[in-house]
């Protein structure tokens, strides 16, 4: 058995790791300007060169953005979100739908099995928001409420990896959801199926929850293929 030498973590890597933790914890939020260079050097107890190398690495990774004359800003909540966003941008709408279908079908059946009273309150709140948006034919509001509803379903799974994955995909998925709402302008039809999905989760009917996801995703795929 070959034993590899233990690698020492460089100061740059330590600063990168701490900065990533600050971003992922929400202490540094998307849109925030990070502290000036001298202040960060003091906080991390590192040299200017070490700090700048760490920042360059996070800019390259897509977590930070440097604006000439304004400073450095947080532009994404995690490396995973950046990677997913880039990959989704390279995919066509049908591929995105297939991934959404698999993820949301699994989330639906897990949510039906594990949902709590608090989860149900969240689902009802966002379903009500969808209903109000559909009634006023407000596609922008419906898109936002739809995203929040599916995030609430993911939360109800209590599977932290699935929750993180869906949460990090949200920004990228929002464009696809908005596009699908536009091509399938009958919000009432979508709302009816989403109501069935929420009812199935409330009743802990895993099969019906998956069937509801199959129904609306199948319709989305049909609509998308018509435009191809």
Are residues 180 and 128 located together in one domain of the fold? yes
- For the stretch 81-128, pLDDT in tens is 777 777 777 777 778 788 888 999 999 999 999 999 999 999 999 999
Say if residue 184's pLDDT is above 60: no
* 96 and 66 both lie in a single domain: no
Considering the domain architecture, whether residues 96 and 186 belong to the same structural domain is answered as yes
Confidence at residue 226, expressed as pLDDT on a 0 to 100 scale? 64
What total number of domains does the chain contain? 2
Residue 88: CB atoms within 10 Å: 17
Examine the domain organization and report whether 110 and 213 are in the same domain. Answer: yes
Are 72 and 172 in the same domain? no
pLDDT surpasses 80 at 166: yes
Q: Once rounded to an integer, what is the mean pLDDT over residues 121-150?
A: 90
Are 47 and 30 in a shared domain? yes
CA–CA–CA angle 129, 135, 138 (5° rounding): 75
- Residue 1: inside a domain: no
Q: What is the pTM of this model?
A: 0.67
What CATH number does the domain containing 71 carry? 1.10.10.10
Which residues does 7 contact at the CB level (< 8 Å), separation at least 6?
Answer: none
**Structural domain includes residue 2:** no
| Domain end residue (candidates: 60, 77, 94) | 77
Is 215 found in the same domain as 103? Answer: yes
**pLDDT tens by residue, 19-46:** 999 998 889 998 999 999 999 999 999 9
Domain that holds residue 190: 81-227
Mean pLDDT, the chain, rounded, equals 85
């Amino acid at each position: 058995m070959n034993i590899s030498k233990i690698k020492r973590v460089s100061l740059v890597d330590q600063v990168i790791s701490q900065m990533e933790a600050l971003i992922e914890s929400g202490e540094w939020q998307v849109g925030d300007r990070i502290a000036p260079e001298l202040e960060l050097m003091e906080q991390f107890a590192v040299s200017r060169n070490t700090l700048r190398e760490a920042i360059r690495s996070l800019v390259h990774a897509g977590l930070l953005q440097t604006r000439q004359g304004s400073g450095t800003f947080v532009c994404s909540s995690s490396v995973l979100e950046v990677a997913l966003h880039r990959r989704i941008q390279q995919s066509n709408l049908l591929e995105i739908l297939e991934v959404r279908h698999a993820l949301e079908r699994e989330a639906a059946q897990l949510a039906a099995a594990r949902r709590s009273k608090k989860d149900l309150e969240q689902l009802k709140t966002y379903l009500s928001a969808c209903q109000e948006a559909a009634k006023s034919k407000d596609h922008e509001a419906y898109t936002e409420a739809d995203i929040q509803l599916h995030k609430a379903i993911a939360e109800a799974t209590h599977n932290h990896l699935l929750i993180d994955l869906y949460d990090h995909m949200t920004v990228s998925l929002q464009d696809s959801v908005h596009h699908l709402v536009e091509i399938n302008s009958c919000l009432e039809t979508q709302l009816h199926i989403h109501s069935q999905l929420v009812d199935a989760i409330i009743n802990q009917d895993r099969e019906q929850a998956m069937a509801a996801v199959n129904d609306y995703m199948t319709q989305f795929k049909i609509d998308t293929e018509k435009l191809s």
